[in-house]
Structure 1
Amino acid sequence: MTAAGPIRARTDGADCLVEADETFAALQMRLGGAYPGTIALPGLLALVRKARRAGTALHAMLSVEDGDQPVSFHAAVVPLEDGATIEITQWRLSDAAWSADNGGPDMLALQRQLAQAHLVLDAEQRVIAGNVDAADLTELAAALQQGFGRYWTDLVSVEGSSHRQPLHWRLLDDAAVTVEGSARTWKTRILPLRTGGFELFLVAETVMASPAEALQAGSGDEVSQSPAQESNGAPLNGLLGQTLAPALRVPVNRIVANAETIRTRLAGPIAEPYVGYAGDIAEAGRHLLSLVEDLADLETVEDANFAPAPDHVDLADCARRAAGILGVRARERAITLQLPPSDLAAPAIGEFKRVLQILLNLVGNAIRYTRPETSVRVESGVSGALAWITVEDDGEGIGPEQAERVFEKFERLGRSGDGGSGLGLYISRKLARAMGGNLVVERGTNGGARFVLTLPADRAEAAAETASAFG
């Protein structure tokens, strides 16, 4: 989470803060310092002094407890004749600041991957910091520059609500909003922080014009229909996807959060057996949430009008993102994730969110079913008209007679008690085929399973990369 633009300050020859943006000055005072006054953050003060002594620009990642809330940022210091200039970027709330009911680090990482705008809010839902990544949110980015201290709902329009702040955050979570200057529809995801305040994500419900649409329409207009909408704007999802899933998510998240509070003894000491009971409750709650999400996805992919929105994606990049989200789980089982090199690209046409969903399922399954202290190998490339990616494990493998059964609905291949729903591979194949590709399984090199995902290759992107490499 970065502030909307760099935060700047200047010190004098005695390392006293003499000029500072409002955000920096407020942080200085919250840390017990004076303004003007000596820099109150020890790590930053040491960096400034070191830069002045060396007579050269220095930079470092620093962290601070701001009101018991962990914050990290990148600081760049440039010495002057009579002091130094400071520029702070990449302002981020540390993962430790998140409360237990946010779904843990996996959910945090996934939300960050999909969101195109992030805002940090205080306990009253006023803007503290924000970052915007989408080209059609430039007006929101500009508003953020002047919007610190304002309610975030003043910067967007919440559909179906004429109320002004303050509203309870749960009434605004998963709300549809429109943003000035963007023709797309956006959904909010509001996650409470452990020590107060919130982080807000904006995730697009509609998408920018896809390559296929652009070729057909001959224009850069945006696609007005999303996978979750019919052409008349009515939701495609039925009872579960639009009604039951959101209604279930809130109370089950609360059950998980309370169970984790008990398990970690945050509410006070308890006998050891109850720690285990609380852990069981939390794990059961997460399993129920996973099942609800799988059933909602099932309803979506089986809708006759379901159509993913094609865009430019890089299968190798998606694999690296999925591995980053699942890295903790792999380390817990001493499993090495072997990924495509950072300079390798496999350009394809597909919907980023859906491709990432498929790879999270494939890599997650590989981690679950391979033997501890082995590896999961991910490779990708482009062959003719297809871009491909493989995920291979060292598990028991899947026999030829099971190769099609594994993609059937609720098929577990005799496995039980591992937390799976038997829907992941069924949904993944449906998504792959809906995007013009396929998902198959074959025997791996070491006897494990190798899943192969193919999608239409993005020939224009591949040609551009080749020209750039030789240009």
Structure 2
Amino acid sequence: MTAAGPILARCDGTDCLVEADETLAALQTRLGGSYPGHIAIPGLLALVRKVRSSGVPLATLLTVQDEGRPVSFCARVAPDGGGTRIVITNWQLAAEAWKADEGAVAEALLRQLAEAHIVLDAEQRVISATIEPGDLADFAAVLRQGFGRFWTDLVTLRGNSHRQPLHWRLLDDAELEIAGSQRRWKARLLPLRAGGFELLLVADTVMAPDLHAVLPLGASPDFKGLLGRNLAPALRQPINRIVANAETIRTRLAGPLAEQYVGYAGDIAEAGRHLLGLVEDLSDLETVEDEQFQPAPDHIDLADCARRAAGILGVRAQERSIVLVTPGIDEHAPAIGEFRRVLQILLNLIGNAIRYTPGRTTVTIEAGCEGQSAWVSVSDEGEGIAAPQADKVFEKFERLGRSNDGGSGLGLYISRKLARAMKGELTVSTAVSGGARFELILPADHASQSSAAG
């Protein structure tokens, strides 16, 4: 299957996916990410970071495993203000697309593995650089002072005493020593169509995050904000690397592999995605429990939010033969709330309904206004939630006895905290179908209602 046309998306200055066509947004959530949220596709995230830091448009061919199916696409990323704009073409659900171009596969894998990305001119002089790991901090400082110099003057080439000029093919795959790093590095040079090169530095091992570095020198431990501001960003990179490498092994892109090891690699990738989701949940937990946390209220339409959330999760529902019934395009429920947080709540509610309701049933999403409140509800045809469990389901780490569903038991707790922070409420009751009915209530946006009526 191929996409009908270009898939468009946009990231802000923190590499958070804030706008995306449904195809990409759906893939983002199926890979364990959130929408809006940090990019969950490791290769695309690496490319976006490099473009944002270097200011140079780049393109590459990427592949990911989407619930057991290989998806390949060409990603082109360009700077856009403080963020980046993404255009995806040649979207295909076929492994043969990769087999047809082994060079493109190799380049995509290199970009997933590289921890440093340096843009060189045609003479191999440094133009810009993106450096990720902490053990290359000294090297990053040298690069900032070394723009315009030959890159080989800034590193030590093992077994090679020659200095520039050297043909790039003689330097490709060269072993390096980098001051400040104890790891062994290799240089990979990729020619750019417009002239110049991409220099990718790949290490033989992944550096574990330095947990001591998150505290200022001499400071006493203060764990408030430690996960969200420091540990979560530090953990995302190695976890994404684990998932990417496991998927590389599982799909045999790195070479033939016995079937039993393919299964092991799939388990590793799935565990990595689960761990990444847990990190994100704990980071959100820290955010909503901070006394200083304040959502950014805006004029939103709960009916529109419901349609967007259902569109993102539509493929997942189809795979279980679940029909998502959404508000009509002419239905509106103006409210005051933060769009990103409302979408986060709805993705959690609809995702839970798809996960826990039987296949070949219907999940109904409705929205409306009543008095001073606007509301949106999600009703399923599952077993429902008994009255004594109605409040318990919103407790922290509560999973109602489910131990193997991959959840953290934090989604509903965080969702209710977010609803209340937006001066609203999240409740659960019994649906007409006998299943569970979750309802998000927010202050109504009477100004929008009046302008619409006028």
From the superposition, tell whether residues 168 and 264 of structure 1 become closer, same or farther in structure 2 (CA, over 3 Å).
same
Contact 2:377 2:437 in 1 (8 A): yes
Residue 296 (structure 1) aligned to one of 283, 291, 301: 283
| 1:166 and 2:129 aligned | yes
Following the alignment from structure 1 to structure 2, what is the Cα–Cα distance between the partners of residues 246 and 443? Answer: 39
Following the alignment from structure 1 to structure 2, what is the Cα–Cα distance between the partners of residues 432 and 336? Answer: 26
Aligned partner of 1:261 in structure 2 is 248
From the superposition, tell whether residues 397 and 363 of structure 1 become closer, same or farther in structure 2 (CA, over 3 Å).
same
Following the alignment from structure 2 to structure 1, what is the Cα–Cα distance between the partners of residues 360 and 283? Answer: 34
Aligned partner of 1:445 in structure 2 is 432
Structure 1 vs Structure 2 CA RMSD: 3.8
Q: Secondary structure at the match of 2:384?
A: coil
Aligned partner of 1:377 in structure 2 is 364
Aligned partner of 2:408 in structure 1 is 421
From the superposition, tell whether residues 269 and 370 of structure 1 become closer, same or farther in structure 2 (CA, over 3 Å).
same
Aligned partner of 2:57 in structure 1 is 127
Q: Deviations over 1:227-264 (max 9, x none)?
A: xxxxxxxx996111111111111101111111111112
2:374 is matched by which residue type in structure 1?
A: A
Aligned partner of 1:330 in structure 2 is 317
Aligned partner of 1:238 in structure 2 is 225
From the superposition, tell whether residues 459 and 324 of structure 1 become closer, same or farther in structure 2 (CA, over 3 Å).
same
Q: Secondary structure at the match of 2:366?
A: strand
Q: Secondary structure at the match of 1:165?
A: strand
TM-aligned CA deviation for residue 345 of structure 1: 1.4
After superposition, where does 1:192-271 map in structure 2 within 5 Å?
238-271=225-258
TM-aligned CA deviation for residue 330 of structure 1: 1.2
What runs of 5+ residues in structure 2 fail to find an aligned partner?
A: 9-19, 40-47, 59-76, 85-125, 135-189, 193-221
Q: Deviations over 1:72-95 (max 9, x none)?
A: 69xxxxxxxxxxxxxxxxxx9997
After superposition, where does 1:15-164 map in structure 2 within 5 Å?
107=33, 110-111=36-37, 121=51, 126-127=56-57, 130=78
Following the alignment from structure 1 to structure 2, what is the Cα–Cα distance between the partners of residues 105 and 405? Answer: 29
Q: Secondary structure at the match of 2:303?
A: helix
Contact 2:32 2:276 in 1 (8 A): no
TM-aligned CA deviation for residue 339 of structure 1: 0.7
| 1:344 and 2:335 aligned | no
From the superposition, tell whether residues 244 and 464 of structure 1 become closer, same or farther in structure 2 (CA, over 3 Å).
same
1:334 is matched by which residue type in structure 2?
A: S
User: Which structure ranks higher in relative contact order (CA pairs < 8 Å, sequence separation ≥ 6)?
Assistant: 2
Residue 312 (structure 1) aligned to one of 275, 289, 299: 299
Between the aligned residues of both structures, percent identity stands at 58
TM-aligned CA deviation for residue 315 of structure 1: 0.8
Aligned partner of 2:394 in structure 1 is 407
Q: Secondary structure at the match of 2:295?
A: coil
Contact 2:373 2:444 in 1 (8 A): yes
2:413 is matched by which residue type in structure 1?
A: Y
Q: Deviations over 1:107-145 (max 9, x none)?
A: 4864599xxxx999499751366586xxxx6x999xxxx
1:338 is matched by which residue type in structure 2?
A: V
Following the alignment from structure 1 to structure 2, what is the Cα–Cα distance between the partners of residues 437 and 380? Answer: 15
2:357 is matched by which residue type in structure 1?
A: T
Q: Deviations over 1:136-190 (max 9, x none)?
A: x6x999xxxxxxxxxxxxxxxxxxxxx982223679xxxxxxxxxxxxxxxxxxx
Contact 1:119 1:131 in 2 (8 A): no
Residue 390 (structure 1) aligned to one of 365, 368, 377: 377
Aligned partner of 1:216 in structure 2 is none
TM-aligned CA deviation for residue 313 of structure 1: 1.1
From the superposition, tell whether residues 406 and 374 of structure 1 become closer, same or farther in structure 2 (CA, over 3 Å).
same
Q: Deviations over 1:342-382 (max 9, x none)?
A: 12111100111111111111011001100011111100011
After superposition, where does 1:275-290 map in structure 2 within 5 Å?
275-290=262-277
Q: Secondary structure at the match of 2:271?
A: helix
Following the alignment from structure 2 to structure 1, what is the Cα–Cα distance between the partners of residues 21 and 315? Answer: 19
TM-score for both structures, normalised by structure 1? 0.55
1:466 is matched by which residue type in structure 2?
A: A
From the superposition, tell whether residues 347 and 237 of structure 1 become closer, same or farther in structure 2 (CA, over 3 Å).
farther
Contact 2:399 2:409 in 1 (8 A): yes
Q: Deviations over 1:56-108 (max 9, x none)?
A: xxxxx976xxxxxxx569xxxxxxxxxxxxxxxxxx99979x9x9x7766748
2:57 is matched by which residue type in structure 1?
A: V
Contact 2:52 2:79 in 1 (8 A): no
Following the alignment from structure 2 to structure 1, what is the Cα–Cα distance between the partners of residues 372 and 38? Answer: 31
| 1:430 and 2:360 aligned | no
Following the alignment from structure 2 to structure 1, what is the Cα–Cα distance between the partners of residues 415 and 338? Answer: 13
1:354 is matched by which residue type in structure 2?
A: R
What runs of 5+ residues in structure 1 fail to find an aligned partner?
A: 1-60, 64-70, 74-91, 142-162, 172-194, 198-234
Q: Secondary structure at the match of 1:337?
A: strand
TM-aligned CA deviation for residue 444 of structure 1: 0.8
1:166 is matched by which residue type in structure 2?
A: A
1:127 is matched by which residue type in structure 2?
A: P
From the superposition, tell whether residues 140 and 368 of structure 1 become closer, same or farther in structure 2 (CA, over 3 Å).
closer
From the superposition, tell whether residues 384 and 272 of structure 1 become closer, same or farther in structure 2 (CA, over 3 Å).
same
Contact 2:373 2:441 in 1 (8 A): yes
Q: Secondary structure at the match of 2:378?
A: strand
Q: Secondary structure at the match of 2:128?
A: coil
